[in-house]
C-alpha cells in the first residue's frame, strides 16, 4: 500500500504554482485586454493597427508555441526569462488577446445617447470613457471575463512542458514514481474544478455588486 500523503503534498505544491500563474496571468491579461481593446477603438490609425496586429497574432498562433518561444527563443535575443515569467507572459498575452475583443465589444454596446450626454456636459473623450462608458461596459464584460479566466486556469497546464512544476507537472511526477494514474489525475481534476468554481462564484458576486442600483432595486 502506497502512502499517498507525501505525494498529495507534492501535488499541492504544484497547485500553488498553478494559482500563481492564474492570478498573475489574469492580471497581465486584464491590462493587455484594456490596452488592446481601447487601442482598437482609438482615433489614431497606428494604435488601431498595433492593437489589431497583437490580437490577431496571439489568437492566431498556439499558446504552446508562444510559450516555447518565450522560454527558448527569447534568450537568443538576449531576454532570458524564468519558467514562471515565461508562463505568465505567454498566458497573459494569449488570453489578453481574446479579452481585448470582449472589452471592445462591451464598450461598443453602450448606447450612443451616453456619449451624447457626455458631449452636452462638455466632458472630454477620456473623462467620458473613464467615468461613463467603461463603468457601464465593465458589467457587460464581467461574465465573459469569467470565461477567459477559467480558460487561462486550464491553459496553465502547458507550462509543465517547460518544466515549471505546476499541478499537472507534479501529477505526472507522481504517476511516473508510483505507476498509478488514478490518484494523481483524479486529485488534479478535482482541484482544477474547484479553482474554476471559485472563479465562477467570485465573478458572479462581483457582477451582483456592480449591478447594484442599475435595475431600480435598492440593495
- Tell me which residues touch another protein (CB under 8 A): 113-114, 116-117, 119-124, 127, 131-132, 135-136, 213-216, 218
HSE, CB side, 13 Å, CA atoms: give it for residue 121.
12
Residue 17: burial class (beta carbons within 10 Å; 0-12, 13-18, 19+): buried
Q: How many CB atoms lie within 10 A of CB 191?
A: 18
C-alpha cell at 5: 500523503
Q: Find cell 501535488 and name the residue.
A: 11
Q: What are the two backbone dihedrals, phi and then psi, of residue 55, each rounded to the nearest 5 degrees?
A: -60, -50
Shortest Cβ 51–another protein spacing (Å): 22
**6 or 213: whose CB is closer to another protein?**
213
Taking the CA of residue 9 as centre, how many other CA atoms within 13 Å lie in the half-sphere pointing to its CB?
3
In the complex with another protein, the residue whose CB is nearer, 43 or 163, is: 43
C-beta of 219: minimal distance to another protein in Å?
Answer: 10
Nearer to another protein, 82 or 124 (CB): 124
Closest CB to another protein among 179 and 218?
218
To another protein, the closest distance from the beta carbon of 114 in angstroms equals 7
To another protein, the closest distance from the beta carbon of 174 in angstroms equals 49
Please identify, using beta-carbon distances, which residue of 78 and 213 lies nearer to another protein: 213
Residue 121: CB minimum distance to another protein, A: 4
CB-neighbour burial class of residue 198 (10 A; exposed 0-12, middle 13-18, buried 19+): middle
Cα angle, residue 20 at apex, residues 19 and 24 outer, rounded to 5°: 115
Amino acid at each position: 500500500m502506497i502512502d499517498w500523503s507525501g505525494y498529495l503534498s507534492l501535488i499541492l505544491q504544484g497547485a500553488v504554482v498553478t494559482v500563481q500563474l492564474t492570478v498573475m496571468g489574469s492580471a497581465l491579461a486584464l491590462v493587455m485586454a484594456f490596452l488592446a481593446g481601447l487601442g482598437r477603438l482609438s482615433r489614431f490609425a497606428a494604435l488601431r493597427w498595433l492593437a489589431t496586429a497583437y490580437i490577431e497574432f496571439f489568437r492566431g498562433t498556439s499558446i504552446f508555441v508562444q510559450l516555447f518561444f518565450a522560454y527558448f527563443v527569447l534568450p537568443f535575443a538576449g531576454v532570458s526569462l524564468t519558467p514562471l515569467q515565461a508562463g505568465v507572459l505567454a498566458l497573459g498575452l494569449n488570453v489578453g488577446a481574446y479579452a481585448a475583443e470582449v472589452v471592445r465589444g462591451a464598450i461598443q454596446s453602450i448606447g450612443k445617447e451616453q456619449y451624447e450626454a457626455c458631449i452636452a456636459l462638455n466632458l472630454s473623450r477620456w473623462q467620458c470613457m473613464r467615468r461613463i462608458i467603461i463603468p457601464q461596459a465593465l458589467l457587460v464584460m464581467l461574465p465573459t471575463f469569467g470565461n477567459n479566466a477559467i480558460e487561462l486556469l486550464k491553459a496553465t497546464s502547458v507550462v509543465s512542458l517547460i518544466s515549471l512544476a505546476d499541478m499537472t507537472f507534479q501529477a505526472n511526477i507522481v504517476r511516473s514514481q508510483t505507476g498509478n494514474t488514478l490518484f494523481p489525475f483524479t486529485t488534479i481534476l478535482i482541484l482544477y474544478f474547484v479553482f474554476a468554481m471559485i472563479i465562477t462564484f467570485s465573478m458572479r458576486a462581483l457582477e451582483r455588486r456592480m449591478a447594484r442600483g442599475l435595475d431600480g432595486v435598492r440593495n
